[in-house]
Amino acid sequence: MKTVARSLYGRLTAAIALVALAATLALALAAELAIRDARDGNLARMVDTDLAGLADIYASGGREELAARIRDRLALSEGGADAPHYLVADASGRPLGGDLDRWPPLSAENSEAGFVATAAGERMFARATQLGPDLRLVVGREYRSWDALAARVRNVLLLSGAVIAALIVAFGNLAASRLQRRVSGINAAYQAVERGEFDRRAPGADRSDELGQLAAHANRMLMRIEAVVRAHRDISDHVAHELRTPLMHLDNRLLRLVERAEGGETSALLASARGDIRHIIRMLDSLLDISASEARRGDTSGLEPVDLSALVTNLAELYADTASDLGIRFDTDIAPDIQLCGDPMHLSRMITNLLDNAFKFGGADGGRIRLSLSSGPRLEVADDGPGIPEDMRERIFERFQRLPAQNGHGHGLGLALARAIAARHGLALRVADAGPGAHFIVEREDQP
Amino acid sequence: MSGLTILHVEDDPEAARAVAEQLRRAGDEVEWTGTGEDGLRRAAAGDHDLIILDRMLPDLSGIELVGRLRDVGVAVPVLMLSALGRSGDRTEGLDAGVDDYLAKPYEPAELIARVRALHRRAAGAPHSAVLLFGDLECHLKARTAYRQGRHLALSPKEFTLFRYLMENAGEVVTRDMLLRHVWNLNFDPQTNVIDVNVGRLRRKLEEGFDRPVLETVWGTGFRLVTR
């Protein structure tokens, strides 16, 4: 079972929450910039109006009047939020009036404006101007209330961003787990069918949303798979039965003729005809076994734990005497306690087909056949016969493929059946070069 | 062995006639029925030595029939004679409680041999410690073999093979029977491994003795004999 974090929905929820968070951050940044812009314009207007008023007062009332008005303004604004600051100074910068004690780094001749520090170390916006040849004036204003406003807006936005992201995660997970339950139901149905429970169906197919449609599609597909599997089984049984019955009648009649023939050429012909009947049936069974194994690939129903070591040892013993009679060196190397979940009879069939093949082609006097089983499991059957040309190494596993040297021996289905049985057990059968000779290897499909 | 009473359940009359002919020639009595229900009734009521059963019957499958027979406590040995002869079909039949499984078409001699072996196994002394036949001895517990009191050095597999031949001494044992009972295989390999293994055993049973005991029955199988 997948966790929410690793599933599609977890990632989707996380992505949406991140986007919400990023959008809130962008919003906070934009608000900050707008507030700063408004503040700058407002400060410039206030400072410039104040400056122009004071310049008028100086022009009409002279230096004393100016100093008096500055004192009035300072007294009036004491304790206010955005306090004004003033400095009247002579040409050398020596303070003559106002609350600032030092000329700020602003040029009076150019009426320069800018952000500078007050005597107390606060930030303010100020403009300097030249009132007379020996008289300069600076008017400044603090803007703490603007910064407080910006901070409040920022906090509100960031907090609501965090709340929105948290809500998205919470609701997203809720929705995700419900969606996941429905998708898991569909997945479970597929897995059950893969295991061989062909009658399992996905839940929620009666709902009209997309997942309901998906479940309905899945169910139609699974129903068809079930029908195909059943049809395959029925056809196999019927083909076997319907073909075997007339062949059996034919065989019975031939047998009655054999009993009357009293030897000679007729008997030999009849025996050969009966041999052909057996050949046809053997071929038919192999073909049905191949298609049944292929159809049940990956289906683990009906498989049981098999002691592969014991099974291979039993077959090695069966073939050992034949090898020594034929003058073949038969080496076996079977590791103990190797288990596999499988069908023991089919696995035996796969191994005997490989051994039959080795004895048929690598089985010359003085030859050598090697049978080994190691963990994995990995089964190998190697001979030192003529081997298999590189371009034939895949084709020999096809039905009715024979090597040119085979001259019509066998029915050309042994290796195809061996490969189909291997695949049914999640194993892969391939052939490698034993240099010289053929080297068949059976191992797990995911091996390189 | 005296003749057996055999119940044959088979819906194909031609196949039934052939089986009846072959068994009667071997000295057995055959009672035939064409339907599963009737077969079940006769099997439950009658006193047969053996039942030969077709697998695909029109009314009741042979597999079901065996199941119901075993359910009501009828333990008569059953040989299933079926057109379904693949390895998986055989396993299915044997799992369902059938004692032996023979695929059609078959050799008459194979059918006779299976019938004899099946009846012998069902009727034979179950727990004898030593099997005796002529001058041959098979000690089951010690897993040892003797001829004329002389110990024969057999490998474990050779002993299993010898034991199976001894259990059916005097009767024909076919290659398929040996494959199933000694090597646990229900198909025959293309290499003639059985003849070679039996040949090995024969050498051990006969070398140094003046009389053969294990004969090959041409086209059918092998048989332990005394003369």
Return the higher-pLDDT residue of B28 and A195.
B28
- For residue B99, pLDDT over 70 is answered with yes
- Tell me the mean pLDDT in the region B80-104: 89
ipTM: 0.90
Residues of chain A with pLDDT under 50: 1-5, 408, 448
Judge whether residue B1 has pLDDT over 70. Answer: no
Q: Which residues of B touch A315 (CB under 8 A)?
A: 183
Number of A–B residue contacts, CB under 8 Å: 100
Q: Rounded CA gap, B85 and B104, in Å?
A: 7
Nearest CA in chain A to B86: A285
Binary contact (A321, B15; C-beta < 8 A): no
Walk me through the domains of chain B, giving residue ranges and CATH numbers. 5-123 (3.40.50.2300), 130-224 (1.10.10.10)
Length of chain A: 448
Query: How many angstroms separate the CA atoms of A265 and A277, rounded?
Result: 19
Average pLDDT of the residues in B199-211 = 93
Closest CA to A80 of A46, A48, A36: A46
Is the model's pLDDT at B135 over the cut of 70? Answer: yes
> How far is the C-alpha of B186 from the C-alpha of A173, rounded, in Å?
57
Report domain A210-295's class.
mainly alpha
Section B28-51 average pLDDT: 92
Crossing angle of helices B156-167 and B193-206, in 10° steps, is 90
Tell the CATH topology of A304-444.
Answer: Heat Shock Protein 90 (3.30.565)
Residue B30 has pLDDT above 90, yes or no: yes
Work out the pLDDT band at B205, boundaries 50, 70, 90: very high
State the pLDDT confidence band at B198, using cuts at 50, 70 and 90: very high
**pLDDT recorded at residue A2:** 42
Helix, strand, coil percentages (3-state) for chain A, rounded to 5, are 60, 15, 25
Domain ranges for chain A, please list them. Answer: 8-148, 210-295, 304-444
In whole angstroms, what is the distance from residue A351 CA to residue B47 CA?
44
Closest residue to A249, CB basis, from B14, B91, B190: B14
**C-alpha–C-alpha distance, residues A83 and A95, integer Å:** 19
User: Strand, coil or helix: what is A242?
Assistant: helix
DSSP A299-336: --TT-EEEEHHHHHHHHHHHHHHHHHHHT-EEEEEE-S
DSSP code per residue over B59-121: SS-HHHHHHHHHHTT----EEEEES--SHHHHHHHHHTT-SEEEESS--HHHHHHHHHHHHHH
**A364 within 8 A of A332, measured Cβ to Cβ:** no
Q: DSSP readout, A68-93?
A: HHHHHHHHHTTT-SS-EEEEEE-TT-
- CA dist., res. B37 & res. B58, Å (int): 10
Question: Which residues does chain A have within 8 Å of residue B185's beta carbon, measured at their own beta carbons?
Answer: 345, 348, 352
Q: Which whole number is the average pLDDT over B18-28? A: 94
A213: Cα separation from own chain's centroid: 24
Q: Which fold has domain A8-148?
A: Beta-Lactamase (3.30.450)
What is the crossing angle of helices B13-25 and B108-123, to 10°?
70
A404 DSSP assignment: G
Bond from prior residue into A377 cis (ω within 30 degrees of 0): yes
A281/B105 CB distance under 8 A: yes
Residues of B in contact with A278 (CB under 8 A): 105
pLDDT per residue as tens digits for the range A269-292: 998 999 899 888 888 888 888 888
Asked if A346's CB is within 8 angstroms of B87's CB, the reply is yes
